[in-house]
Amino acid sequence: MNPKRILIVGGGSSGWMAAAYLDAALNRGEKVVDISLVESPDVPRVGVGEATVPNINHILAVIDIDEMEFMRRVDGTFKQSIKYVNWLHGQGEYYHHPFSRYRMSPLDRASHMWLRSDRSIPFMETVSAQPIICELGLSPRMLGEWDFGPPLTYAFHMNALKFADYLTELATSRGVSHYREHVSEVETAANGDITAVQTRSGQRLEADLFIDCTGFASLLIEKTLGVKYLDYSQWLLNDRAVTMHVDYEDHYPGYVRPYTTATALSSGWVWEIPLQNTRSLGYVYSSGFISDEDAEAELRQFEGPHAVSTSTRIVPFKVGRREHAWYRNCVAIGLSGGFIEPLESTGLYLSDLATVMLAEHFPRHCEMEPMAIRFNRIMTNRFYEILDFINMHYCLTQRNDTAYWQEVQKPERINERLQAKLEYWKLKPPSAADFQDQFLPGQADTPLSPGMMAGDYRCPVDTAGLWNHESYEAILFGMDFLRDECDERFGKNRPRTMLLRQIVDRLRAAPKKLPPHDIWLQRAVGMQNYQKS
């Protein structure tokens, strides 16, 4: 059987991750697909620091990328958690959403114990050593052989442009064809399938399956095939970001944080992503509540006097997804398929998921439609899962200092699935069973209206594919959920919060076992010592 032809239109992290992963996953042992990628030299490359989730490790393993070499090539640093600052009251408070936690055995009653206490210690610090390890600025890896108990789960911060370049090098060396051409025309057949693209230089590139990685331009999935974009801005108000890079040569804060920071400001929040040579910052905000000029000024004030003349870039975006991510013989991956703001680092993850699902559902011996139906159901469910989780970060705030924070907690800004979850979790804390079929009291049992899940009107299902009940606990309890209910049920004079012995023992040993993050980076992957610069 002749290999099927895949043409990826558009490069960047999404396009080249798809090329490298599909080649590794499908062509191992036999030639299943011929993969080509065409990207326009006219499209400017926009790079920001990228934060990932631990799923990135699957991508790296399948493509056969060595972790150390990966970190060297992409200015990579470790990410063990997201630290949320000023989200609850706007008065300097914070909490962590880490990747590792201790689980009591055989029955984990950590949340019940914490809720019955005076809550004087943040919940995640009672079940995970990672928040304090992060606050101490320690690496999740030792310099020598590991002897520190269960491994600490981590993801990465990286330079997205360098990641794309590295994947380009790997993919093309393994047989992926690369065209630096501007696509000027898309040809379609009588049945609506895409048959080929033509380039400005006159090349005609045919394929059996086309992957749209053209970002918000959506050249194939929208402009050619007309697949609608479903808007999520009712629940997520932010639509712009102003970004800057603060190079360590200009200002080195004296450390490299082993986590991502999300600090709430007047009309949104700022990400801080540390790399080996720079810090990437981005103020994600709603243009309905602050102007671009004022957002830029607020970001500069947040960073400090050294950022007065640092260059910035305004990046508009829209939150939502395609009605179909896979339509006819075209699959949208990356921004062309949808986007939910970067609060929990899901941008690259959604490209990762779509690529992995395409490899798993690739139509080797069948027509595309059955595979497309399942692919679309999985991707749609995951988008709803992410929407719920991100929406929750906002609606639980108790801030009322600006119009923006007053708006995000209004009932109409909370989607009905999340409302059902929150009402149910007032009756009992989240648990694994809540994600078995995801039908909770108060959740709508009517079919979705046409267009919400085209051709499949069943209620979306949160399968906890990305965040389970433990992740929900991190956000809920970090945002003081059930405060009033606990006062009513257990009284206000409750016993002090206790730390598990296992957490205390690990924290005592951590400074002796784990080096500071910057020291690990200097010795293991060659980061420059900016303290001596």
Measure the CA–CA gap between 321 and 231, rounded to whole angstroms.
Answer: 7
Question: Per the structure block, which two tokens stand in for 294?
Answer: 């004022």
Looking at the DSSP assignment, which residues form a beta bridge with residue 314? 242
In the DSSP assignment, the letter for residue 466 is S
Looking at the DSSP assignment, which residues form a beta bridge with residue 5? 34
In the chain, what is the straight-line distance between the N-terminal and C-terminal CA atoms, in Å?
A: 60
- Residue 227 CA, distance from chain mean position: 24
The CA R_g of the chain, rounded to the nearest whole Å, is: 24
Measure the CA–CA gap between 95 and 82, rounded to whole angstroms.
Answer: 8
| Best CA proximity match to 136, nearest among 515, 527, 520, 528 | 515
| Best CA proximity match to 230, nearest among 376, 120, 99 | 376
Looking at the DSSP assignment, which residues form a beta bridge with residue 35? 6
Instruction: Note if 79 is an active site residue.
Output: yes
Residue type, 216: F
Catalytic residue among 4, 31, 79, 512: 79
Measure the CA–CA gap between 216 and 240, rounded to whole angstroms.
Answer: 13
Asked whether the beta carbons of 122 and 95 are under 8 A apart, the reply is: yes
Helix (H, G, I), strand (E, B) or coil at 237: coil
Is residue 453 exposed (0-12), middle (13-18) or buried (19+ Cβ within 10 Å)?
buried
DSSP secondary structure letters along 378-422: HHHHHHHHHHHHHHHHHHT----SSHHHHHHTSGGGS-HHHHHHH
Backbone angles phi, psi at 34, to 5 degrees: -100, 120
Is residue 201 exposed (0-12), middle (13-18) or buried (19+ Cβ within 10 Å)?
exposed
Which run of H or of E encompasses 107?
A: none
Question: Per the structure block, which two tokens stand in for 177?
Answer: 């064809």
Continuous H helices in 222-307: 292-303
Active site residues: 79
